[in-house]
Amino acid sequence: MDGPDDAAVWKLDEDRALVVTTDFFTPVVDTPYEYGAIAAANSLSDIYAMGGTPFLALNIAALPPDLPVEISSEILRGGAEKCRQAGVVVAGGHTVQDKEPKFGLVVLGFVHPQKMLTKNGVRPGDILVLTKPLGFGVTTTAIKQGKASEADTLEVIGWMSRLNQLSGQLASEFDLHGGTDITGFGLLGHGLELANSSGLGLRLRFENLPFITCAQKYAQDWTFPGGASDNRSYYGPQVRFNSEITEMNQMLTFDPQTSGGLLLAVPPEKLNAFQKRARELGQPIWLIGEAVPGSGIEVFA
């Protein structure tokens, strides 16, 4: 209870700890099956972000009473099939009525008490590795505004639906101890959680940050969700931007993500083997910066 980690952890014995988390949200896409799958992947992510393996889930659903049953069932099916892909059993759950749909999961997992990923496990010199691109928030807002093309919609759905299972496997195989997942607080908000919890600073190179192909286009249209401005207002005082980085690109680093990737701290001596194993698993990774003595985050061009 002494740090802002991604899930609650309860030690069972010397070799096992129970990891418990919950998350749910309103639709980020227009198709119910994909909404359910994305919500499930997002809920499962916090277990992977702790270095754990999920095994059991419960549905949390708030659905309008006049919502056609075909839509409700597709939301639940999307979540169930994503859980099946992760090897997780959905053992029921709870549903209430609400004017706006909301869906997510309670998820339980296991982790070895000495092999957890935590936000205070980063050390100076660690290389910061990201496992999904950015730009989900600005794109899903474009979807809500009817501005997104079909190709762009499919691209962002594909990334948000992708499990962080292989990313978590990599973290476990290489005995990493520092990491988190990138969700509503954006890259910089969650990066600052790592930095502040570990008592150090982060240096990020903007040109190394990965973005989905349509992110810049929608950023130019300024389709940022309200959370991006909230993130900038709250976290901005702890961030130093190089003067070459435009306001639009600064906002992209504050963009809230739904079911984003893991941000992992990899010791330099493990990096080559880590990259090789990621290629073997087919897991994309991007090297975006490093942990340094100091505080806050510096973003340079």
| Domain shared by 85 and 211, yes or no | no
Q: What tokens does 8 get?
A: 């609650």
DSSP states of 116-178 as a string? Answer: --BTT---TTPEEEESS-B-HHHHHHHHHTT---HHHHHHHHHHHHS-SHHHHHHHHHTT--E
In a domain, residue 186? The reply is: yes
| Domain shared by 156 and 15, yes or no | no
Enumerate residues 6+ apart whose C-beta is below 8 A from 247: none
Task: Mark which of 46, 76, 111 sits at the end of a domain.
Answer: 111
- Measured in degrees and rounded to the nearest 5, phi and psi for residue 256 equal -65, 140
| Domain shared by 200 and 254, yes or no | yes
The terminus-to-terminus CA distance of the chain in angstroms comes to 37
| Domain shared by 159 and 267, yes or no | yes
| Domain shared by 268 and 157, yes or no | yes
Cα–Cα distance for residue pair 292/148, rounded to 1 Å? 39
In a domain, residue 2? The reply is: no
The count of structural domains within the chain is 2
How many CB atoms neighbour CB 284 within 10 A? 17
Cα–Cα distance for residue pair 161/80, rounded to 1 Å? 13
In a domain, residue 119? The reply is: no
DSSP states of 200-249 as a string? Answer: -EEEEEGGG--B-TTHHHHHHTT---HHHHHHHHHHGGGEEE-TTS-HHH
CATH code of the domain containing 18: 3.30.1330.10
Give residue-wise pLDDT tens across range 68-87: 999 999 999 999 999 999 99
- The range of the structural domain enclosing residue 199 comes to 127-300
Q: What is the pLDDT along the chain (301 residues), one digit of tens a residue?
A: 666 788 999 999 999 999 999 999 999 999 999 999 999 999 999 999 999 999 999 999 999 999 999 999 999 999 999 999 999 999 999 999 999 999 999 999 999 999 999 999 999 999 999 999 999 999 999 999 999 999 999 999 999 999 999 999 999 999 999 999 999 999 999 999 999 999 999 999 999 999 999 999 999 999 999 999 999 999 999 999 999 999 999 999 999 999 999 999 999 999 999 999 999 999 999 999 999 999 999 999 9
